Amino acid sequence: MPVNPALRNLRSGQFEQSFMFHMIRDFFLLLLVVVALELGIRYGVVLYEFKTAEPERVDRSAQQLASDVKSIMLNSGGPTAAQTVYPILKRNYEDLGLSIAVVPAEVTIESMKISQNMVPQGLPASWPLGNHNEASVNLKAEQFCLGCHVKAKVGDVLGTVSVRSYLSRKEAAWWHEVRLTAGVLSFNIIMHTIVLFLLLKVRMEPLLSLRSTVAGLAKGVIDLSPRARVKSEDEFGELARDLNHFLDRIALIVHDLDKMLTEVVAVGARLGALNRHLELQLDGMRDASLRHMSHNAHRSVETQLVVARESGAFNELLNSLDEVAATGQLPAGAVTPLRGQLTRLRDSFGAVAQALKGVAPPVLLADAQTAEYQAFAQSLREMALLESTMQSVAESGQRVLQRLAQGRTGGVS
């Protein structure tokens, strides 16, 4: 869908449309993605360790707990002291993310009732629901245990110690780490963003200068003479240098085109002057030819009239000769020679009249020559029109080149 140019110009001036804003935003989002990815990987590691390494750790903890219980029972007051030590053991193991339980066997309960006059409670199991790993160790009676466990024999199970590791505690520890890391990472992200902003401000200065030059050229507010400053040797510097080379080529082409159009205008002016001179010469030649042809035609008509009149006079002389001969006033031998002389003179005048008709320019010939002169004059007028059009096009091209070379200021002036 095409974008309105006015809307595009409005958006280009907003900070959220700038390259720096996009760069900082993308960098900030990328850091957030990296942090989220890191925490996700950390959570995956927690799950992996819970399924692979945690069972072994729980088993070692159960063995250690069984060893601790045995150490307590080695004392003479072990059964009584155990009721005080067991809560301490529970807190210690909870600090390690483990839940423990010490459950006495039935033989231990019966023996303690007899030897210690007490009912041993051990450490009752209070297991919450959830995904967990568990390990248990049975405590078997040894020789030194028979002093208190009077109803037991060596090898009997005196009780069971159990250790559980819950995934919820691992997740709680992971979430606590996330909250601690979030504060540190937020500070790091802010500091990195500020550093990036300052770095971009320094490194983007050549690009912003280049952008202002290109924008001025694109909008026509400056001429082709300004050049972008080359402030670095990186890609931005190379881009500014290439732009300067391109502007040099454009300026050279504009200069050559302007020179060519100037020559075209000069040639058009010369053609116009020559055309006007030819029109004047043609008009003079036409007027002189018409006057000459009119004078010759008039003289030819007069000559033809004289010849026609004289031819009529010879006819009258012949008629008069016939009348006189009929009266007998002339000798008979003189009439025939005289009549022959008059007839020859009449024929000679007739031949001269025919010759004059052939030599004299007729009116149709004058009209044809006049039409040819008019056609030639029309061709000269069309050539003048073409010359005017060519000159107008050349001047328009010069104005376009002037606006291109000088920007809007040159075009307006």
Confidence of residue 1 (pLDDT cuts 50, 70, 90): very low
What average pLDDT does the structure give for the chain? 74
> Using one digit for the tens of pLDDT, what is the confidence trace for 213-250?
777 777 766 666 777 777 777 777 788 888 888 888 88
Q: How far apart are CA 65 and CA 80, in angstroms?
A: 18
CA contacts within 13 A on the Cβ side of 93? 28
User: Has residue 3 got a pLDDT over 50?
Assistant: no
Measuring CA to CA, which residue among 215, 219, 214 is closest to residue 409?
A: 219
Average pLDDT of span 81-85: 76
- pTM exceeding the 0.85 threshold for the entire prediction: no
Alpha carbon distance 404, 221 (integer Å): 10
Nearest Cα neighbor of 160 from 73, 78, 102, 100 is 102
Phi and psi angles of residue 99, each rounded to the nearest 5 degrees, phi first: -115, 135
Alpha-carbon distances, residue 124 vs 87, 100, 103, 127, 136 (angstroms): 11, 9, 6, 9, 14
Q: Answer with the residue of higher pLDDT: 186 or 341.
A: 186
Give the tens place of pLDDT for each residue, 15-71.
455 667 777 788 778 878 888 888 889 889 988 988 888 889 889 988 888 888 888
Query: Do residues 133 and 117 lie in contact, with contact meaning Cβ atoms separated by under 8 Å?
Result: no
Q: What is the DSSP letter of 16?
A: G
Contact (CB, 8 A) for 82 and 73: yes
